[in-house]
Chains A and B, each alone.
Chain A
Amino acid sequence: MGGIIDLDEGNFKHGILGLVIALVEIIRDALRLQAFRRMEGGSLAEDEIDRLGEALMDLDIALDQIKQEQGISDTVQQVRDGLDDIVDEILDKMLNPDQWAEEYDRQVMR
């Protein structure tokens, strides 16, 4: 499988921190989508929606601040792209078994 998360080898600390922040961002995005679902679901009261929005916004601000302070915005983006590529590839293979054959053929041809 070709997906490689390429951590910035020059600065290990940056890499680790970038990885952690990237994971937190992914969780945040998932939570945000769920929050939208709940808001659309219509069971939440007005003030609950306000509080939820405020809390998510606080998290956004905090994450942006950390990224800026540590100068890891690029690293985080890199990690996220890397993870997304892996997911994309896995799903692609699961959903398109034809590709397995193609890839197998390519390897044999080599």
Chain B
Amino acid sequence: MMPTREKHATLVDLLDRVLEKGLVLSADIIISVAGIPLIGINLRAALAGMETMLKYGIMRDWDERTREWEREQAKRKAPPLLAGEQVLLRMYGAHWYSKGIYRAWRPGQLYLTNRRLLLFRKEPTEMLFEASLETIEGLAIRRETHFTGVERDMIYVMRSPALPACLYAERPWALKEAIEERMAALGLPLEESPSISGLGEELDRLLGEGEKVAAHAKMWHKVPPAGIIGETWRAGRLYLTDKRVFWWCNEDRKALFDVPLDQITGARVETRDLGGLIRERPVLVAFCRNGPGSAEALFAGDELGEWAKALGRVVGEMETCPKCGRPAPVKRLLEEGCPHCDWVSPRPRKQEPQAPHIRAR
């Protein structure tokens, strides 16, 4: 009986055999010049498949540690998915988190799955944002200036009754398209070009429950003196909502002028001397109640006439009670009397006989 060799050994067979048995290289080298040793090389190398290495007890700890680390990573790597949920798109993203006084961008990985939109952070592990696709009503992208001065496209996810969620995504347009595509595949309706409240992220908390912005525009405002700073014109934005008028200061990132609509008594455009280089200039003067007296707030910007009209419409229906001086709707004052005190309008008595006639018209 003769030993036989399997015909046609392949390169893979050769490699496998080498790795299985292991290869040990051991060399000692001395480099010398003029018979004087200068450099010594002591070489010990071993090449083998990991299973062979372990068999000889080499790198056993290392093997354990590597796998342990990978197990830990695997746990953190993926967000918890529901049964049957698949990740369709993944990218870097962040969510504008705003709750009470804590407001910040929270970065993580954005995942679009076949059922949800997720923002997941690995370390420390937390689901930063989660929206089931069924609850998404609209998507919008708006270019905003980041505080670093870079313009970025922000993606807004509309869900009611929650406020629109502001997300930063690495590729916002790709994300928007992918969500739209997936929602269309699920047969979920999506609002066509929905409107964002028009406010930046810091302003979200300024709006009350159900408060709607009617108009907003870039405006300069004469800010009353505060501390060591005297009266100054500062840049910002004027907002008219269905409940109040407020002016947002760009620099301070807060509303320095904030007045409920029923405290506004009037508004008109006047030409005022603004001092400094700008002499005569039209400004919007808003009159508002300030305790027993009245105060005026000055705004400068474009389309002041429109603003005066808009504010006029709002306050036109308000009047002060002739007795207590508190504001009340004109209609209410004329037809009944003051809701705050016992003052009664003389008109109901006077017009009583004519009432049927008015109704007939």
Contact = CB atoms under 8 A, between A and B. Distances in A.
A110 interface: no
A37 B14 CA distance: 16
Contacts of A108: none
A33 B12 contact: yes
A96 B135 CA distance: 75
Interface string A30-70: 10011001101101010110010000000000000000000
Interface in B43-88: 49-52, 54, 67, 71, 74
Contact of B10 (A40, A41, A88, A96): A88
A43 B54 contact: yes
Nearest to B20: A37
A37 B9 contact: no
Contact residues on B (Cβ < 8 Å of other chain), bracket: 20 to 34
Contacts of A80: 10-11
B14 to A, nearest CB: 5
B111 to A, nearest CB: 19
B49 A29 contact: no
Interface string B1-35: 00001011111111110011000000000000000
B50 A84 contact: no
A48 B52 CA distance: 19
B10 to A, nearest CB: 4
A91 B51 contact: no
A87 B14 contact: yes
A95 B11 contact: no
A1 to B, nearest CB: 15
A83 interface: yes
A91 B12 contact: no
Contacts of A30: 12, 15-16, 19
Contact of B54 (A29, A40, A41, A95): A41
A38 B14 contact: no
Contacts of B50: 34, 38
Given A26-B15, A51-B74, A34 B51 contact: yes
Nearest to B18: A30
Contacts of B71: 45, 47-48
B51 A29 contact: no
Interface of A: 26, 29-30, 33-34, 37-38, 40-41, 43, 45, 47-48, 51, 80, 83-84, 86-88, 91-92, 95-96
Given A40-B51, A86-B11, 13 more contacts: A26-B11, A29-B15, A33-B12, A34-B19, A38-B50, A41-B51, A45-B71, A47-B71, A48-B67, A48-B71, A87-B13, A91-B9, A91-B14
28 contacts: A26-B11, A29-B15, A30-B12, A30-B16, A33-B12, A34-B16, A34-B19, A34-B49, A37-B52, A38-B50, A38-B51, A41-B51, A41-B54, A47-B71, A47-B74, A51-B74, A80-B11, A83-B10, A84-B11, A87-B10, A87-B11, A87-B13, A88-B7, A88-B8, A91-B14, A92-B5, A92-B9, A95-B5
Q: Which 8 A-B pairs rank lowest in CB-CB distance, beginning with the nearest?
A: A84-B10, A37-B51, A30-B15, A29-B12, A34-B49, A33-B16, A87-B11, A41-B51
